[in-house]
Chains A and B, each alone.
Chain A
Amino acid sequence: DAGVTQSPTHLIKTRGQHVTLRCSPISGHKSVSWYQQVLGQGPQFIFQYYEKEERGRGNFPDRFSARQFPNYSSELNVNALLLGDSALYLCASSNAGTGRSNEKLFFGSGTQLSVL
Protein backbone atom coordinates (compact mmCIF):
# COMPACT_ATOMS: atom_id res chain seq x y z
CA ASP A 1 0.00 0.00 0.00
CA ALA A 2 1.16 3.52 -0.73
CA GLY A 3 2.00 5.77 2.18
CA VAL A 4 1.07 9.41 2.53
CA THR A 5 1.96 11.18 -0.71
CA GLN A 6 2.58 14.90 -1.08
CA SER A 7 3.08 17.06 -4.12
CA PRO A 8 5.08 18.83 -5.22
CA THR A 9 8.25 17.81 -3.40
CA HIS A 10 9.91 21.19 -3.90
CA LEU A 11 8.52 24.60 -4.75
CA ILE A 12 10.02 28.05 -5.20
CA LYS A 13 7.78 31.13 -4.98
CA THR A 14 8.26 34.85 -4.55
CA ARG A 15 6.84 37.08 -1.86
CA GLY A 16 3.16 37.91 -2.31
CA GLN A 17 2.38 34.88 -4.42
CA HIS A 18 -0.08 32.11 -3.58
CA VAL A 19 0.74 28.41 -3.20
CA THR A 20 -1.27 25.19 -3.08
CA LEU A 21 0.16 22.02 -1.57
CA ARG A 22 -1.50 18.64 -2.01
CA CYS A 23 -1.71 15.50 0.11
CA SER A 24 -3.15 12.04 -0.41
CA PRO A 25 -3.62 10.03 2.79
CA ILE A 26 -3.10 6.33 3.24
CA SER A 27 -6.01 4.38 1.81
CA GLY A 28 -8.75 4.07 4.41
CA HIS A 29 -7.53 7.01 6.52
CA LYS A 30 -10.12 9.72 7.02
CA SER A 31 -8.06 12.29 8.91
CA VAL A 32 -5.43 14.60 7.45
CA SER A 33 -3.26 17.01 9.39
CA TRP A 34 -0.83 19.67 8.19
CA TYR A 35 2.35 20.73 9.96
CA GLN A 36 4.97 23.40 9.20
CA GLN A 37 8.60 22.61 9.99
CA VAL A 38 10.99 25.53 9.88
CA LEU A 39 14.66 24.61 9.56
CA GLY A 40 16.09 23.60 12.91
CA GLN A 41 12.72 23.39 14.67
CA GLY A 42 10.10 20.77 15.42
CA PRO A 43 6.93 20.60 13.33
CA GLN A 44 4.16 23.07 14.23
CA PHE A 45 0.50 22.11 13.84
CA ILE A 46 -1.50 24.03 11.25
CA PHE A 47 -4.77 22.14 10.64
CA GLN A 48 -6.55 18.87 11.19
CA TYR A 49 -9.42 17.68 8.98
CA TYR A 50 -11.63 14.67 9.61
CA GLU A 51 -14.44 13.58 7.34
CA LYS A 52 -14.06 16.81 5.40
CA GLU A 53 -14.57 19.03 8.44
CA GLU A 54 -11.97 21.16 10.18
CA ARG A 55 -11.42 19.69 13.65
CA GLY A 56 -8.42 21.68 14.78
CA ARG A 57 -6.47 24.81 13.89
CA GLY A 58 -3.08 25.94 15.09
CA ASN A 59 -1.81 29.44 15.70
CA PHE A 60 -1.38 30.48 12.07
CA PRO A 61 -2.72 33.60 10.29
CA ASP A 62 -5.77 33.56 8.05
CA ARG A 63 -3.47 33.49 5.02
CA PHE A 64 -3.33 29.75 5.68
CA SER A 65 -6.36 27.70 4.70
CA ALA A 66 -7.07 24.09 3.88
CA ARG A 67 -9.78 21.77 2.75
CA GLN A 68 -10.45 18.06 2.51
CA PHE A 69 -12.15 16.43 -0.43
CA PRO A 70 -14.66 13.53 -0.54
CA ASN A 71 -11.81 11.11 -1.34
CA TYR A 72 -10.07 12.38 1.86
CA SER A 73 -7.21 14.04 -0.01
CA SER A 74 -6.38 17.54 1.13
CA GLU A 75 -5.00 20.87 -0.03
CA LEU A 76 -3.16 23.49 1.98
CA ASN A 77 -3.33 27.00 0.59
CA VAL A 78 -1.14 29.91 1.60
CA ASN A 79 -1.84 33.42 0.30
CA ALA A 80 0.38 36.49 0.21
CA LEU A 81 3.54 34.51 0.86
CA LEU A 82 6.16 35.92 3.21
CA LEU A 83 9.82 35.03 3.47
CA GLY A 84 9.04 33.44 6.83
CA ASP A 85 6.72 30.92 5.18
CA SER A 86 9.78 29.10 3.83
CA ALA A 87 9.63 25.68 5.45
CA LEU A 88 8.99 21.99 5.02
CA TYR A 89 5.24 21.37 4.99
CA LEU A 90 4.30 17.94 6.27
CA CYS A 91 1.04 16.12 5.82
CA ALA A 92 0.01 13.30 8.13
CA SER A 93 -2.90 10.90 8.03
CA SER A 94 -4.63 8.64 10.54
CA ASN A 95 -7.94 6.90 10.92
CA ALA A 96 -8.82 8.80 14.06
CA GLY A 97 -11.09 11.76 14.63
CA THR A 98 -11.03 14.12 17.52
CA GLY A 99 -10.67 13.29 21.14
CA ARG A 100 -7.63 12.00 22.95
CA SER A 101 -6.91 9.36 20.41
CA ASN A 102 -3.87 7.19 20.64
CA GLU A 103 -3.87 6.54 16.93
CA LYS A 104 -0.49 7.23 15.43
CA LEU A 105 0.09 9.68 12.63
CA PHE A 106 1.70 8.58 9.40
CA PHE A 107 3.72 11.39 7.81
CA GLY A 108 4.54 12.10 4.19
CA SER A 109 7.98 13.24 3.06
CA GLY A 110 6.82 16.83 2.83
CA THR A 111 6.89 19.73 0.41
CA GLN A 112 9.90 22.03 0.72
CA LEU A 113 8.69 25.58 0.06
CA SER A 114 11.19 28.34 -0.57
CA VAL A 115 9.93 31.93 -0.69
CA LEU A 116 12.32 34.41 -2.31
Chain B
Amino acid sequence: AQSVTQLGSHVSVSEGALVLLRCNYSSSVPPYLFWYVQYPNQGLQLLLKYTTGATLVKGINGFEAEFKKSETSFHLTKPSAHMSDAAEYFCAVYNQAGTALIFGKGTTLSVSS
Protein backbone atom coordinates (compact mmCIF):
# COMPACT_ATOMS: atom_id res chain seq x y z
CA ALA B 1 0.00 0.00 0.00
CA GLN B 2 1.07 3.53 -0.67
CA SER B 3 2.07 5.89 2.14
CA VAL B 4 4.14 8.97 2.84
CA THR B 5 6.03 10.01 5.95
CA GLN B 6 6.95 13.60 6.61
CA LEU B 7 9.91 13.92 8.94
CA GLY B 8 9.53 16.80 11.34
CA SER B 9 6.16 18.24 12.20
CA HIS B 10 7.63 21.71 12.60
CA VAL B 11 10.54 23.42 10.83
CA SER B 12 11.78 26.90 11.71
CA VAL B 13 14.11 28.94 9.50
CA SER B 14 15.28 32.52 9.25
CA GLU B 15 14.32 34.70 6.32
CA GLY B 16 16.81 34.09 3.52
CA ALA B 17 17.84 30.65 4.80
CA LEU B 18 17.48 27.37 2.96
CA VAL B 19 14.18 25.55 3.37
CA LEU B 20 14.27 21.75 3.47
CA LEU B 21 11.11 19.74 4.15
CA ARG B 22 11.51 15.97 4.15
CA CYS B 23 9.19 13.35 2.69
CA ASN B 24 9.71 9.62 2.30
CA TYR B 25 7.29 7.42 0.45
CA SER B 26 6.31 3.79 0.19
CA SER B 27 4.71 2.55 -3.00
CA SER B 28 4.11 -0.82 -4.66
CA VAL B 29 4.00 0.85 -8.09
CA PRO B 30 5.97 3.76 -9.60
CA PRO B 31 4.73 6.66 -7.51
CA TYR B 32 3.06 9.88 -8.51
CA LEU B 33 4.19 12.37 -5.84
CA PHE B 34 2.94 15.81 -4.91
CA TRP B 35 3.65 18.70 -2.56
CA TYR B 36 0.78 20.93 -1.47
CA VAL B 37 0.77 24.09 0.66
CA GLN B 38 -2.03 25.21 2.94
CA TYR B 39 -2.30 28.74 4.31
CA PRO B 40 -4.48 29.38 7.38
CA ASN B 41 -8.20 29.02 6.72
CA GLN B 42 -7.60 28.05 3.11
CA GLY B 43 -7.65 24.94 0.97
CA LEU B 44 -4.64 23.19 -0.52
CA GLN B 45 -2.59 24.64 -3.35
CA LEU B 46 -0.36 22.47 -5.53
CA LEU B 47 3.33 23.42 -5.38
CA LEU B 48 4.70 20.74 -7.68
CA LYS B 49 4.28 17.17 -8.82
CA TYR B 50 6.41 14.27 -10.03
CA THR B 51 4.98 11.67 -12.37
CA THR B 52 7.65 10.41 -14.77
CA GLY B 53 10.72 11.81 -16.47
CA ALA B 54 13.05 14.39 -14.94
CA THR B 55 13.64 13.68 -11.28
CA LEU B 56 14.21 17.33 -10.34
CA VAL B 57 10.87 19.06 -10.40
CA LYS B 58 10.41 22.81 -10.23
CA GLY B 59 7.27 24.30 -8.81
CA ILE B 60 5.71 27.63 -7.98
CA ASN B 61 7.13 30.26 -5.62
CA GLY B 62 10.71 29.06 -6.11
CA PHE B 63 10.20 25.59 -4.64
CA GLU B 64 11.65 22.42 -6.12
CA ALA B 65 11.82 18.76 -5.19
CA GLU B 66 13.98 15.84 -6.23
CA PHE B 67 12.66 12.31 -6.67
CA LYS B 68 15.22 9.79 -5.41
CA LYS B 69 14.08 6.24 -6.00
CA SER B 70 17.06 4.68 -4.21
CA GLU B 71 16.22 6.64 -1.07
CA THR B 72 12.41 6.57 -1.57
CA SER B 73 12.46 10.31 -0.93
CA PHE B 74 10.87 13.42 -2.38
CA HIS B 75 12.22 16.30 -0.30
CA LEU B 76 11.05 19.87 -0.90
CA THR B 77 13.57 22.71 -1.00
CA LYS B 78 13.76 26.44 -1.53
CA PRO B 79 17.10 28.29 -1.58
CA SER B 80 15.93 31.39 0.27
CA ALA B 81 12.92 31.54 2.59
CA HIS B 82 10.47 34.45 2.56
CA MET B 83 8.12 35.41 5.36
CA SER B 84 5.24 34.59 3.03
CA ASP B 85 6.37 30.94 2.90
CA ALA B 86 5.12 30.36 6.45
CA ALA B 87 2.38 27.74 6.06
CA GLU B 88 1.56 24.03 6.37
CA TYR B 89 3.13 21.77 3.76
CA PHE B 90 1.84 18.34 2.78
CA CYS B 91 3.52 15.59 0.80
CA ALA B 92 1.15 13.18 -0.99
CA VAL B 93 1.17 10.11 -3.21
CA TYR B 94 -1.60 8.71 -5.40
CA ASN B 95 -3.06 5.40 -4.30
CA GLN B 96 -2.60 2.42 -6.59
CA ALA B 97 -6.04 2.81 -8.17
CA GLY B 98 -5.40 6.45 -8.92
CA THR B 99 -8.59 7.51 -7.16
CA ALA B 100 -7.21 9.22 -4.09
CA LEU B 101 -4.28 11.17 -2.74
CA ILE B 102 -2.68 9.81 0.42
CA PHE B 103 -1.30 12.68 2.47
CA GLY B 104 1.37 12.88 5.10
CA LYS B 105 0.65 14.52 8.45
CA GLY B 106 2.13 17.80 7.33
CA THR B 107 5.03 20.04 8.29
CA THR B 108 4.49 23.54 9.64
CA LEU B 109 7.09 25.97 8.31
CA SER B 110 7.81 29.05 10.40
CA VAL B 111 9.96 31.88 9.01
CA SER B 112 11.46 34.48 11.32
CA SER B 113 12.94 37.84 10.40
Contacts and interface: CB of A to CB of B under 8 A. Distances in A.
**B is a partner of A:** yes
Interface of A: 4, 33, 35, 40-45, 48, 55-56, 58, 90, 92, 96, 98-102, 104-110
Nearest to A56: B99
Contacts of A90: 43-44
A56 B102 CA distance: 13
A43 B103 contact: yes
A56 B97 contact: yes
Please classify the interface of chain A as helix (H, G, I), strand (E, B), loop, or mixed, using the class held by over half of its residues. Answer: loop
Contacts of A48: 99-100
Contact of B32 (A41, A100, A106): A100
A59 to B, nearest CB: 11
6 contacts: A4-B43, A45-B95, A102-B49, A107-B44, A110-B42, A110-B43
How large, as a class, is the contact surface on chain B?
20 to 34
B26 interface: no
Contacts, number: 69
Contact of A107 (B45, B51, B96, B104): B45
Nearest to A33: B100
Interface string B1-41: 00000000000000000000000000001001010100001
B39 to A, nearest CB: 10
Given A48-B100, A56-B99, A42 B94 contact: no
Contact of B43 (A58, A98, A108): A108
A43 B32 contact: no
B44 A100 contact: no
Contact of B100 (A42, A45, A99, A102): A45
Given A56-B97, A98-B98, A98-B99, A41 B44 contact: no
Given A43-B101, A44-B103, A56-B99, 12 more contacts: A40-B106, A42-B92, A42-B104, A42-B105, A42-B106, A45-B99, A48-B99, A48-B100, A98-B99, A102-B32, A104-B34, A110-B43
B42, B95, B101, B106, most chain A CB atoms within 10 A:
B101
